[in-house]
Structure 1
Amino acid sequence: MTVTPHHDALLKIMMVMSAADGRQRDHELNVIADLARNLPVFRSVTADDLVEALHAADHLLSETDGIEGLVEETCAVLPQPLRETAYALAVEVAASDLQASEEELRLLEVLRDTMALDPLLTAAIEASARVRYRRDPGATGATGTTGV
């Protein structure tokens, strides 16, 4: 099966989040690949199609000047339930390195506004990520949470 416009949009949102702070970390790219391989929303997409779509999204990011325009264009193809999914995926990528940057937090704000998401829903998604990515308070060097 080929990648549908909504699959493409979800992948672009994750790639945009990964690049929001000006550098794409291998860890974040691995998280995106894991999410794309394991989540039900991507179940009908083959591994080869996912790789191709991720490369296309990465190329688009390198060609784009304005993230906000890309976000608006990308979100426009998503129905409401998948807008919620897109936000959850973006939060997952931002939280995966255990510290959300100012740029990542700003992008989450742009996503919330662009997709007109329910503030209670976005707060719940963010709280869920904080709980999942919380560090062991007894571990050496553990400080705080993700900032998401």
Structure 2
Amino acid sequence: MPKPFSPHEALIHLMVTVSMADRRMTEKEVAEIGLLVGTLPVFEDFDRARLPALADETANFLEADDGLDRLLQRAKAALPDKLYETAYALCVEVVAVDRVADQEELRFLEMLRDAFDLDPLISAAIERSARVRYRKM
């Protein structure tokens, strides 16, 4: 039986997964994940040096036939309910940094909303907030 994810690991696996959803991780997405992990209170006490290894672990998960489903299940099991919206918001931030959301990324966000049974109004507010922050002149 695999070792359970820590809450930090779960959040990072989800952010990396949404970044990889379109089969490519852009430099902006990688930088955004690093910025979020380096600045947000939810990642206090997390060793940023572990990020590359966790990204590789995420890629390995996603190569398996049922890897995405297992990753979502393990992430949900690792997170307290109060962090479901946080997880979704972090993933939306990673998608928004490129200012273009691919169908694969949108599909993963939908899967995340369903897995965490997020309120549609709260999800919409999180998405709207990201659109407003990343708007160009």
Q: Could you tell me the TM-score, scaled by structure 2's length?
A: 0.87
Q: Does 1:20 align with 2:21?
A: yes
Unaligned 5+ runs, structure 2: none
Deviation at 1:126, TM superposition (A): 0.4
What is the aligned length? 132
C-alpha distance in structure 2 between counterparts of 1:52 and 1:125, whole Å: 29
C-alpha distance in structure 2 between counterparts of 1:15 and 1:73, whole Å: 15
Q: CA-atom RMSD, angstroms?
A: 1.6
Deviation at 1:49, TM superposition (A): 3.6
Partner of 2:65: 65
Deviation per CA, 1:17-72, whole angstroms, max 9, x where unpaired? 000011111210111011000000001113324444344334434x4334233222
Deviation at 1:124, TM superposition (A): 0.7
CA distance 1:52–1:22, change in 2 (3 Å): closer
Q: Could you tell me the TM-score, scaled by structure 1's length?
A: 0.81
Partner of 1:45: 46
C-alpha distance in structure 2 between counterparts of 1:35 and 1:57, whole Å: 18
CA contact (8 A) 1:6 1:77 kept: yes
Deviation per CA, 1:71-103, whole angstroms, max 9, x where unpaired? 222222111111111000000001110000011
CA contact (8 A) 1:71 1:111 kept: yes
- Structure with bigger helix share is 2
Same amino acid, percent of matched pairs: 45
Partner of 1:31: 32
Unaligned 5+ runs, structure 1: 137-148
CA contact (8 A) 1:17 1:93 kept: yes
C-alpha distance in structure 2 between counterparts of 1:52 and 1:92, whole Å: 21
**Which of structure 1's runs of 4+ aligned residues deviate more than 6 A?**
none
Secondary structure in 2 aligned to 1:22?
coil
C-alpha distance in structure 2 between counterparts of 1:49 and 1:73, whole Å: 19
Deviation at 1:119, TM superposition (A): 1.1
Code of the residue aligned with 1:124 in structure 2: it is: A
